[in-house]
């Protein structure tokens, strides 16, 4: 393994570094929203998994009926989806486009963040809202109408 470049753990349906589309992730996600970060709770560990739970507020829903405020869970590893700004603090200044699924992750059988959601594919179409193009918005609107 020495000399092999490191890469993010980005698996989508068993394919590493899969190239996805808004259409594919829209259909594969239970919820698709534009959301704003309200708060974050960081859990750092030198002896196990580190993770973060973000509290978010829905700005606009494109798919699914999601409550106005929800919790997003992400592991702090190469496959995580972070919403941190400068200095490693929560990114309160920006919205995000998120393709979401139920988390279902637990440590030793105990839920870490009960009812938390997660991003479907950290290396996919979920991103900071200012990276969303007009074409992306039009595609989301068309997909929303077609539900």
Beta carbons of 82 and 119 less than 8 angstroms apart:
no
By CB atoms closer than 10 A (0-12, 13-18, 19+), residue 113 is: buried
Range of the domain at 100: 19-145
Which pLDDT tens digit goes with each residue over 115-129? 789 999 989 999 999
Please state, in angstroms and as integers, the Cα–Cα distance from residue 66 to each residue in 34, 36, 63, 71, 98, following that order.
Answer: 11, 14, 9, 11, 12
List the CATH number of the domain containing 30: 2.40.50.120
- Is 1 inside a domain boundary? no
The number of domains in the chain is 1
- Is 5 inside a domain boundary? no
- Is 7 inside a domain boundary? no
Percentages of the chain per state (helix, strand, coil), in multiples of 5: 15, 40, 45
- Is 13 inside a domain boundary? no
- Is 73 inside a domain boundary? yes
Which pTM does this prediction carry?
0.85
- Is 3 inside a domain boundary? no
- Is 10 inside a domain boundary? no
- Is 141 inside a domain boundary? yes
Q: Mean pLDDT per segment of 10 residues, for the chain of length 147 residues?
A: 48 84 96 95 80 93 95 83 83 92 63 79 93 97 89
């Amino acid at each position: 393994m020495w000399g092999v470049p490191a890469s993010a753990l980005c698996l989508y349906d068993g394919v590493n570094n899969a190239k996805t589309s808004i259409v594919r992730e829209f259909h594969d996600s239970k919820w698709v929203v534009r959301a704003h970060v309200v708060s974050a709770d960081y859990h750092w560990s030198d002896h196990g998994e580190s993770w973060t739970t973000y509290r978010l507020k829905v700005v606009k829903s494109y798919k699914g009926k999601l409550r106005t405020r929800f919790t997003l869970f992400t592991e702090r590893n190469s496959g995580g989806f972070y919403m941190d700004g400068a200095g490693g603090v929560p990114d309160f200044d920006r919205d995000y486009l998120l393709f979401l699924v139920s988390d279902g992750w637990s440590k030793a059988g105990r839920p870490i963040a009960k009812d938390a959601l997660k991003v479907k594919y950290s290396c996919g179409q979920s991103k900071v809202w200012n990276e969303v193009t007009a074409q992306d918005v039009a595609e989301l609107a068309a997909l929303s109408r077609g539900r």
